Structure 1
């Protein structure tokens, strides 16, 4: 979201792509029909842009195991990792048109399909991923505007997957905004706007390219990653300086299932998927904590130094970026009542923050304890 490798040899990749193409054709004809196999069982094809060792994949693996057990083998999941079935930006449409049954949908790829879901990308709203994920679920149940996107696309939210809070990894030390100015930093989504406001030069690239780009001096650092992501990309042993920029939870992803397929299942199967999904947040946090602890240990052993951007400078960035009002204006121009979604998001964050003491792995690591 401990099982699989992040890189596939070229010939193996070609075999996977060929197999995926064949699977896609077969799924197009059957996945959205809601029909079970001849023996009454279901094989759900799950597409993800995550590799199979990520904490997000480990969380969905646990979910699949519990679903299979709860249905006595009636529902199983077949995984398609690292965009081997469809690209990350096609996840929602692939789940709708039958190329997949289930998908991991990243907020960074969801602007056109699930526009209101992107409210959770707003920086400076919360530093608690548990609160953020609970807000994702509650918005789905409590805000009609937010829910309508899912219904329109024919997909059902099962549960969210955490990414954690944004960290900045650097080759050279930075402790304030003056130190960041002029540096080239890999960034994506709304975090790029924060980097621009900080005087840095955001550079778009995939996470898989960060290690080599830093080694070659193409970029001076990276963000739009959380501490638990670093081992997956070889960065937890090669990042000498880690800065908490105060952005907080910067993104997330969700697991969705084709609604027609879900509704076509026997009631006991629907109940099993729903009941196991209720534990999805716990799965995600536990797996993120485990990889966060690994990352924290590797960072410390490599001699990495940690720092936090001063609070007054975080406030300065928040005011300059003004991401929330820009988000509302952008989507109200497209006919959404985006203000109601933002207001409910903030209300839920306030309510959930009172009962959650969860500490993100970055916060735990910087505090000196295990993540």
Structure 2
């Protein structure tokens, strides 16, 4: 009887250890705080836990694992298994993705931004680019066109942007420079302090970020329709960690991407954008709307030269830049006529 009990105890311990070994925990590096921009990752974590009965969990950290500009570096060395980053923060680290940050690319909706990003992420050149960082692209964080919140006198025409110090990254920065503004690249978490201290006079963000990072708290004006472009911010996984997942856990993760993006787009459209107008009204922020003639002149001055400069720069690096640009613009044209 004692031998039987001993064997039973050993078996129970073995089963317990086996169950513990089956559990998977991934660390996920984000920044700021939970907001519309991170709802794709939050929903992904929820779905993965549900599908695996809690055996696979994504532990989301807002700034506790890495600085936002170093998330791709952390992924490359396996410091954590998943992260979000913005291509414009470090265009040299992910040059192929920056084609989606070109000014006046022409994306009109979050649905288009989502589909275009996912299509480009499948391009072999893009996958090779991210493979240098041991990263696998999982999904984008689609954002609407950026616009400016600012202090001081509001710009009434494009000429009024001359000398304006504005936080603007990537292609948006190039667009602002073309109308005489002085673009400054800084991470989202630095912007509010820079505005309040007078380091910059305006900031380009999507609406959710203006609310989340407090740029509207002391702002005087908002451009409703400048729409120079947006920033592309993927969620990536460490490739080794992804390949090491048990098959059922990997399936749970990858099969949840579309649903996580559905949730993200629905939340941004129906919650974030619904809150944006009232947030401006409550603070007495003036809406600045430019006429079509000014917008057309802005686009004409910026779009073509920026695209050509990007193609020349990336081609000099040995990348198939023209192919990537044609792929992106061609895919976008398809999406618009579906």
Shift of 1:37: 8.6
**1:199 and 1:110, CA in 2 relative to 1: closer, same or farther beyond 3 A?**
closer
**1:208 and 1:93, CA in 2 relative to 1: closer, same or farther beyond 3 A?**
closer
Which residue of 2 is the match for residue 256 of structure 1? 236
CA-to-aligned-CA distance 1:66-121 (integer Å, 9 cap, x gap): 11101111210112212x21222322232121101011021113423322111111
Q: List gaps (5 residues or longer) in structure 2.
A: 1-17
- Find 2:79's aligned residue among 92, 99, 106: 99
Distance in 2 of aligned mates of 1:37 and 1:186: 50
Does 2:72 match 1:89? no
**1:111 and 1:184, CA in 2 relative to 1: closer, same or farther beyond 3 A?**
closer
The question of whether the paired residues in 2 share the 8 Å contact of 1:164 and 1:228 is answered with no
The question of whether the paired residues in 1 share the 8 Å contact of 2:69 and 2:187 is answered with no
The number of residues matched between the two structures is: 316
- Find 1:181's aligned residue among 162, 182, 186: 162
Shift of 1:198: 1.2
**1:238 and 1:296, CA in 2 relative to 1: closer, same or farther beyond 3 A?**
farther
Report the RMSD for the aligned CA atoms in angstroms: 2.2
Distance in 1 of aligned mates of 2:216 and 2:116: 30
The question of whether the paired residues in 2 share the 8 Å contact of 1:166 and 1:250 is answered with yes
1:11-90 correspondence runs (5 A): 38-48=20-30, 50-82=31-63, 84-90=64-70
Which residue of 2 is the match for residue 329 of structure 1? 312
Max Rg structure: 2
Distance in 2 of aligned mates of 1:213 and 1:147: 35
**1:206 and 1:92, CA in 2 relative to 1: closer, same or farther beyond 3 A?**
closer
TM-score normalised by L of structure 1? 0.78
1:1-371 correspondence runs (5 A): 38-48=20-30, 50-82=31-63, 84-125=64-105, 126-141=107-122, 143-171=123-151, 172-223=153-204, 225-244=205-224, 246-289=226-269, 290-321=271-302, 322-355=305-338
Which residue of 2 is the match for residue 360 of structure 1? none
Q: List gaps (5 residues or longer) in structure 1.
A: 1-35, 356-371
Distance in 2 of aligned mates of 1:320 and 1:232: 32
Distance in 1 of aligned mates of 2:168 and 2:330: 28
Shift of 1:39: 2.5
